[in-house]
Chain A
Amino acid sequence: MSADSGPSKPLCNGTSTIEMCNGYCSKPHMPWFGMDIGGTLAKLVYFEPTDVTPDEEELEVETLRTIRRYLTSNVAYGSDGVRDVHLEMKNVKLAGRVGTLHFIRFPTASMKSFIELAKEKKLATLADTICATGGGAYKFEEDFNKEVELALHKLDELQMLIQGINFIDDTYPSECFYWAHPDDEEQCKKVPFDFSDPYPYLVVNIGSGVSIIAVKSQGDYARVSGTSLGGGTFLGLCCLLTGCNTFEEAIEMAAQGDSKKVDKLVKDIYGGDYDKFNLPGHVVASSFGHMMCEDHRKTVCKEDLARSTLVTITNNIGSIARMTALNHGINKVVFVGNFLRVNPIAMKLLAYAMEYWSKGQLKALFLEHEVCTLDNTKYNAVLRTHAT
């Protein structure tokens, strides 16, 4: 793709993208940033060009060099910013440049510190606009304007998400996979899924809350459902129940716990399967149901509570996703979002629940990069930044 042809294929196919590109399609100045400011986490993508010629190096202003070195030589920023080194995408071609995409995340609660940092590093001398999506793009717009003297180019979250999924699949074949035998610890494995003919499909984006988007074709999509019981609920409840401090900690605890001590299963109530309605004994009848009883509360540990919280939230999302898919006549459901980061338990649960309750009619799909954290929106945000 030539330097002047604008963004890569999937981006320019949507009409809105073309409109937005108008007037911006000349080669943009470095640096290329994109942000997705969610309810819990803010995600920053930085494109580091690796095809920098010595001439360019020479021309690169001092501030930019400082920022580039600061971002690429550290894995932690301030007290709680983290660069996900393992996610780096190397040799990415973007608008005629080749480079590496870096992924940096920090809690949205630390947004003020980030703004301070941006001010200190004089980000405004390099660009006057930064592309951003997510709720925070709206919430923190004024702070960016005033403090950093940067305008936020706000991009629609859903559009970014959908385009991101298309982009990844185009750029990285075999990005998409499903879990075979998700209920069997030994046989369970990832199997690539051919996502080249994806429509229609459902996207379940699990961030702090959950958005469910039906995608009928490229450019034809709508938010059809969602639930407030999402990743934020899992972490919030875990913090209250166990005193844990981070998502990673919560997931770690959950991995050690046993939810059967906390939840009431069908067999706890009926002594076995409830045959009449085809309810197997191992199905959860009442999440946290055992906790009604004081004696039971004494027998559980924090790990069990964390596990039950994870199972409850995950199954609930699966249930709503499954029925939404049925209501829209869709049989492919792509789960994305930060909740699935370092969270194979949740993925396998989703995979199992979708298959079991739909009797194999529905497929739970995941994205390789997503698994590792990637919020697709970030791709787009960065891709769009280069265009402004």
Chain B
Amino acid sequence: MGRSTDVNGKIIKATGGGAHKYKQLINEKLGVEISKEDEIQCLIKGCNFLLKNIPDEAFIYEKHSNPPYKFQSPSNQPLFPYLLVNIGSGVSMMKVISDTEVERIGGTSLGGGSFWGLGSLLTKAKGFDELLELAEKGDHRLVDMLVKDIYGGSYDLIGLPGDIIASSFGKAARSASDTSSAPVEYKEEDIARSLLISISNDIGQIACLSARLHKLKNIYFGGFFTRCRPITLYTITFAINYWSKGEIQALFLRHEGYLGAIGAFLKSAEETTDADKYSWGEHFAGSTGLQSPVALNFSKDSKVDLLELDRLERPVCYCPVLRSDAVYVPDTWDLTRDAEAREYWLNCFKEAVDKFAERAVLSQPNKADAAELAEQFKQKYIQRLQDLGEQPFAFGSLTVRTLLDTREQFLKEFEFPDPYLQQKRNDNKEALELFPSYLKNLDSKNWEQQQHDLVEGILAGNVFDWGAKEVTMLMDAQTLTFEDARSRLRPHPWLYDDYEAWLVRLRGSPHNCAVIFVDNSGFDIILGVFPFVRELLRRGTKVILAANSKPVLNDVTYRELVILADLVAASCEIITAALRNRRLLIVESGQGSPCLDLSRIDCGLVDAMVEHKVDLVVLVGMGRAVHTNLYAKFGCEVLKIAVLKNRWLANRLGGDMFSVIFKYEKYDASEEAAKFF
């Protein structure tokens, strides 16, 4: 729980049975006071926190699907009530009714301690992890008595399949007649597996019975038992599906073992700050993924899992104009499912890393160890890409967005907070110089031409993207002008071409308020977006410009945009007036990514969207309109505008380099019963 803690150094909040037991020892050795917190309250607090804050925290496991892991992110769906099954030494089952209300409704003494304890008696394995490794190699059918061992096949009369275990350890039961022959030696692997399966099954069954009794549909599993091992996940899931006939859902947590610790941490954070007011995000640079504990130095044979969190400076909320009747998934492609895409993107990011390291060094000319840090960044990122190739599910769903975000977090980790700072300044300066003449030229055309130029301007500006490898080569050679970019765009019909429909719409009544999620600095924002904004304002539409809160690539940040808006206003009366009248608002989006996760945007932006009754959303750029949100459904009109600057992706969508995405989607209120504002 490394960074961004305001924990008082002298007092540590602790929970669990050992909080009492080791209180004295910790105090003597470390000089730290232990403040004991109630275990169940901490568990619930930790669990609710993870479910509400961490994307892809919970997942379901379906062994026979591709991919077997299906992740769930915080959503607008109700979370409560649910059953939390905490598998520690024993098992507690709690009905969680709200953030603070909880009721223990059952439990079982057959838990992680039974697996460990019995496993230690029956095998030579040292500790829990070795036991799990043994279990993974074993075959329980050599120890357990299956239905087919008793019936010779399946027991059709009562619908018991032959492979179902009739009696755990049943084959190990000796009878007097066996004494004549030497007792059968059972392999430790098989015993360990039988043990793991019987306990997992039992927990699943009892959890299911408890959930049924209290009419709960979702069961979350916490504690340090499953370790996210497929065999355990599968057995528990199978038991719950089997006994509930598919009516109850088993959900697992990536950070299952840390619920209590997170809860205790939050309790202390609450004492110094108002933790509820903040939102949190996972810091990929510090966290370890599923099944990837790293060795730490303090003990040679103990491995450690890490969860590193960033406390966001401002809280994030769910976008109010997403369709409430559709499940919102930001990412267009799931790379865990799509092996070909995964291979392409992992390789693509690997090939691009040299350029990023170079750029990072250049951004820190006064830093002596910049080259060294950049090299470390490079090695760490390449290693992560390799790990993800082997374990795509390690951090939840694998998407282009998570790959991009991971790279950004790694860069910051090695002290490169804004590698494109200078580039952005240069680009803005160049574009600002052209801005007055650009507007003048625009105004000389007829209305219809103007509308087309405005859209083409956004598209041309969007070509200038330092995240796209093939374009950076052109930009590095400093040969790409705005007009060049414009001429490279594919002609109509575009890959997605709703331009005519948009033009028809423009002949109609003005929108009330548009929110534009902007992309790059330079030509993109200044010659692309601002002229478009001016046109909307002229039509009588209010405009909210939403820019990233934190720097990434050459994307314009909120702070930069506030300054840029004033500079642009100097050459444009309409914008000047709109800024003054609050008909043009600059707001931060809460994002620090070239992509856009609309389930986690800045709450201030959400308030503004609600207050001004947004009825048009404009998403600009590949990250915001293609890698994410391409198929997202909105409860109002939306424009998704981007230029494809990656040949592979363009081909995949059926286009080519510089193919144009211009999707204009209307909102049909009759499709959705619920009203927004």
Contacts and interface: CB of A to CB of B under 8 A. Distances in A.
A245 interface: yes
Nearest to A268: B17
Contacts of A231: 167
Contacts of B243: 225
Contacts of A79: 176-177, 180
B113 A292 contact: yes
B150 A323 contact: no
Interface in B169-217: 169-180, 183, 186, 191, 198, 201-202, 205-206, 209-210, 212-213
B108 A232 contact: no
A240 B173 CA distance: 8
B89 A292 contact: yes
Contacts of A294: 120
Interface string A145-174: 000000000001110000000000000000
B155 interface: yes
Given A109-B175, A245-B178, A323-B210, A39 B155 contact: no
B158 to A, nearest CB: 5
Interface in A33-77: 38-40
A236 B155 contact: no
Given A80-B176, A228-B168, A292-B89, A158 B158 contact: yes
B103 to A, nearest CB: 9
Contacts of B116: 291-292
Main DSSP-derived SS at the B contact region: helix
Q: Among A232, A290, A316, A320, which residue has the most Cβ atoms of chain B within 10 A? A: A232
B108 A316 contact: yes
Nearest to A291: B117
Contacts of A134: 150
B40 A277 contact: yes
A239 B172 CA distance: 7
Interface in A210-253: 223, 225, 227-233, 235-237, 239-241, 243-246
B118 A288 contact: yes
A229 B174 contact: no
A140 B150 CA distance: 9
Contact of B151 (A138, A270, A279): A138
Q: Among A157, A263, A287, which residue has the most Cβ atoms of chain B within 10 A? A: A287
A28 B118 CA distance: 53
Interface residues of B, number: 64
B106 A323 contact: yes
A204 to B, nearest CB: 14
Contacts of A39: 145, 149-150, 166-167, 170
A192 interface: no
B174 A239 contact: yes
Contacts of A207: 167
A286 B113 contact: yes
Q: Among B164, B177, B201, which residue has the most Cβ atoms of chain A within 10 A? A: B177
B144 interface: yes
Contact of B90 (A158, A236, A289): A289
A225 B108 CA distance: 17
Contacts, number: 219
B89 A289 contact: yes
A38 B209 contact: no
A330 B198 CA distance: 27
Contacts of A140: 152
A327 B113 CA distance: 28
A284 interface: yes
B145 A287 contact: no
A269 interface: yes
B104 interface: yes
Contacts of A223: 158
Given A79-B180, A264-B89, A209 B40 contact: no
Interface string B107-121: 011111110111011
Nearest to B105: A277
Contact of A232 (B40, B153, B155, B168): B168
Contacts of A236: 143, 167-173
A287 B109 contact: yes
B209 A323 contact: yes
A228 B206 contact: no
B169 A237 contact: yes
Contacts of B212: 323, 327
Contacts of A230: 167-168, 170
A110 interface: yes
A385 interface: no
Interface string B94-132: 000000000010101111111011101110000000000
A241 B122 contact: yes
Contacts of B106: 319, 323
B176 A316 contact: no
B38 interface: yes
A285 B109 contact: yes
B114 A288 contact: yes
Interface in A169-212: 207-209
A136 B201 CA distance: 25
Nearest to B145: A39
A228 B90 CA distance: 19
A286 B90 contact: yes
Contact of B121 (A227, A271, A288): A288
Contacts of B164: 228
A325 B562 CA distance: 66
A161 B88 CA distance: 38
A86 interface: no
B471 interface: no
Given A277-B40, A286-B90, A289-B117, A228 B171 contact: no
A99 B443 CA distance: 114
B170 A107 contact: no
Contacts of B202: 227, 229, 316
Contacts of B152: 135, 138-141
A208 B167 CA distance: 5
B38 to A, nearest CB: 7
Contact of B104 (A209, A237, A277, A288): A277
Interface of B: 17, 20, 38, 40, 88-90, 104, 106, 108-114, 116-118, 120-122, 143-145, 147, 149-153, 155, 157-158, 164-180, 183, 186, 191, 198, 201-202, 205-206, 209-210, 212-213, 243
Given A135-B155, A240-B191, 18 more contacts: A38-B150, A39-B149, A80-B175, A107-B175, A110-B177, A135-B166, A138-B155, A141-B152, A227-B202, A228-B201, A232-B173, A237-B169, A284-B90, A284-B109, A288-B117, A312-B114, A319-B108, A327-B209
7 contacts: A138-B152, A230-B168, A240-B172, A246-B176, A270-B20, A287-B109, A326-B213
Interface of A: 38-40, 79-80, 107, 109-110, 113, 134-136, 138-141, 156-158, 207-209, 223, 225, 227-233, 235-237, 239-241, 243-246, 262-264, 269-271, 276-277, 279, 283-292, 294, 297, 305, 312, 315-316, 319-320, 323-324, 326-327
Top 10 nearest A-B pairs (CB, nearest first) are A135-B150, A291-B117, A236-B169, A232-B167, A288-B117, A232-B170, A286-B113, A107-B175, A289-B113, A236-B172
